[in-house]
Structure 1
C-alpha cells in the first residue's frame, strides 16, 4: 500500500513538473501587407502586387483571414479607399499543410512620392489567448525618387510612426519608430519584431530568437538594429478599451500597430 501511495505521489509530481516546466510554444501573430516592390524606380515596376495575410511569418504558418474591414493608400496628403480591389488568394506558406485564405490587390503607382498602404482587419478570434486580435498594418512604398510623407500619421486606432525612413535600409541599420494609441505616444509598450522567413531556409537556434522583443521608452519610441536582409515586421501590442462578445461572454481585444520594412545588403 505504501509503495502504491509513493507511486501515485511520484506520478502527480511528474505531471506537475511537466505542466510547469515544459515550454509552451506561443507563436506571434502578425498582420502582413507585403508589396512586390518597396521602391519603385521605373515605370515597368509601377504595377504593384500587394499581398495581405495574417500569419506567423518566421514559422511559415498562415491563418484563414476574412476580408479586411478597410484597405487603402495614403499619398499626396489624402487617403484612397482600395477595399473593392481585394481578391481572395489561396496562400500556402512553407510550413502550411494546406492553403489558407489571404487577400491580394493590384495597384498601379501613377505619381512620385511615398505611398502608405494600410489595412484594418476584421477581429480574429484566437482561442489560445481567449481574446480577439486586430492588427492595424502599414507598409510604405516610395515612388520615382520623391521622398515625402513616409512619416505621416494616418489616425488609425494604433499605429507606428517611423522616425527612420522606412525604405532604403541597409542590413544592420537601426530602425526607430514611435508607437501611438488613440493618437498619443504609448510609453513602455512591448514591440514584437519578426523576420518574414519566406523560403523557410532560416532557422532559429532556440525559440526566443524567433520573435524579438523590445520596449518603447517613456516617449513611446523604440529602436531595433536589423540583422538580416529581407522583410521585417514590428508589432506594438496593447489592449483595446472595447470588448467583443464571444459565446455570450465579453472578451478582450488585442490591438496591434504593425509596420513592415525591408532591408538589403550593401553591394
Structure 2
C-alpha cells in the first residue's frame, strides 16, 4: 500500500430489493475500469457529508433516491489511478425509491449473495461479495454455533472443535487461533474476541465476533465502528447491554447483534 498518495474519500451503496438481492452496476465508458461491475457510488465532494454524496451519486447514475442508509464496511484500496478510502453503506429495500435508469449508459443487475453471475468484478469488491452472504439476523450461541438464512438458504457457523469436513463456516476464539498458528481451512472463518487489543490481530478473519462483557467494552465497540471496520463485526452481549447499545451499534456499522445467553438471539 502506497501511503504517500493522497487518500480519496469515496462512498458506495449496497442497495437491496424486497427479495434480498443486491444491486451491481457496470462502470461506464471513459472511466477507469470501464465495464467492470461494482457497487454504485463515487467521490465525496467538498462540503458534502458521506450520506449526501451517496444520495447525489445514486440520483446521477441510476435515477433513484436514497432515503436512509447505514454504514457497513470501510476499505482502503490502492488502484492504479487512485488510493481510496471506500465506505460502503447498506440501503435496505424500504430505504430507497424510484425507477432504475442507466443514466450513464451503464448496465445494472440484481444479484444473490453467494451466487453472483456478472464479471469482471472491480478488484476491491471480492471480500464485500463474500460478506454479503453473512446473514444480518443470527441465532445461537458460542458453544454450539450460530445459524441464520440468506437468500441462498440456510447459513450455519460451527465451533472449530465440533466442525466436520462438510461444514463451511468455522467459529474459533482468537486465543485458540493464536495457539494454532494458522487459519482453519474453511470457506469462512469467524474469530471471537473479547477486547479491543485483539482487534488488530484478527483482520484476516472473514467475520469477527466481539463478546462484550461490560460497558467499557460496549463503548469500545462504538469507537471502533465510528472509525470504520473492514471486516463484518457481529456483537455478542448480555441482554442489558443489547437493550442499551443495539441501536447504536447497528447504526454505526455492526453487521449483527446477538444476546449472549442461553436464549435465542435477537
Do they superpose with TM above 0.5? no
* TM-score, normalised relative to structure 2: 0.30
Higher relative contact order (CA 8 A, sep 6+): 1
* TM-score, normalised relative to structure 1: 0.30
Structure (1/2) with the larger strand percentage: 1
- Structure with the greater alpha carbon radius of gyration: 1
